[in-house]
Amino acid sequence: MKHLLARMRLTQAGKMRLIALLAIVLAGALSAGAGATLAVASAPTESRANVFTMGDVKVKLEEPEWDQNGPEDVVVWSKRRIKKDPQTVNTGKNPAYHFLEVWMPMAEVRVVSNDVNIGPMMMQELFEWEYNDAPGINPKWTQLFTPTTSDDGNYIIYIFGYQDAVEPGGRSEPLFTSLRAINFLEGDIPAGTVIQMPINTIAIQSENLNESGGTLKDRLEDIYNIYKTIPEED
């Protein structure tokens, strides 16, 4: 049986205004107003699905906690926590394995350690993920492969796989529930800077895959590689 795949890229954001030295949008498309006010569309602004064969494998990205953020909630300063909870929903008719491709934004900043020592200016990932207020991701998700750097050098690209196939109408648990800004030195990022965190969702039919691997991580990587070897159709 040919494998059924679908990929959806979704960008989301909440509207915001600049009330601190730095404003960061974690995902979304920006429209800027005059003066010191920034406005961002609160609904998904882009979605795209590619179906390679007959069937019905569809996936949707949702972030219910992020959607509840108000303007002040998405203004970021050093070490601030922001609610963000990417999770997948199977909107098709076939069970499928779900994957998230998360682009972690980077910037050239200095990090303050122990609130005293200032490190060198260098490219750093701007956030750390947290699950239920603890460092790290949900244990039902597994980080796959070695993270790569985007062509422009502004993102580290992570791939995560969900441990179970998601049934039609079902959803995954969130990959993480919040992001914590690193302890960067105030002033290293210009006021009004807007940074995005793109997230791609990928679904692969779970039936008849014949995946190999001795560990969950190995099996999920093998399943993901099936997706990578099939050419995308327009």
Chain segment 189-215, per-residue pLDDT in tens: 887 888 889 999 999 998 878 788 889
Q: What is the pTM of this model?
A: 0.77
Handedness of CA 186, 187, 192, 195 (dihedral sign): negative
The residue among 23, 26, 159 whose CA lies nearest residue 85 is 26
- Residue 129, in any domain of the structure: yes
The stretch 19-40 carries a mean pLDDT of 30
Across 37-41, 100-104, 128-132, 216-220, least confident range: 37-41
The stretch 23-44 carries a mean pLDDT of 29
- Residue 83, in any domain of the structure: yes
- Residue 166, in any domain of the structure: yes
Angle of CA points 27, 30, 35, to nearest 5°: 130
- Residue 194, in any domain of the structure: yes
Domain count, the chain: 1
- Residue 115, in any domain of the structure: yes
- Residue 234, in any domain of the structure: no
49 compared with 101, residue with greater pLDDT: 101
Q: How far apart are CA 127 and CA 25, in angstroms?
A: 12
The stretch 33-39 carries a mean pLDDT of 23
Contact (CB, 8 A) for 98 and 162:
yes
The pLDDT value recorded for residue 230 is 67
The stretch 38-66 carries a mean pLDDT of 56
Average pLDDT score, the chain: 78
Q: How far apart are CA 126 and CA 141, in angstroms?
A: 21
Range of the domain at 70: 5-229
The residue among 77, 78, 44 whose CA lies nearest residue 201 is 44
Q: How many CB atoms lie within 10 A of CB 152?
A: 7
- Residue 165, in any domain of the structure: yes
- Residue 34, in any domain of the structure: yes
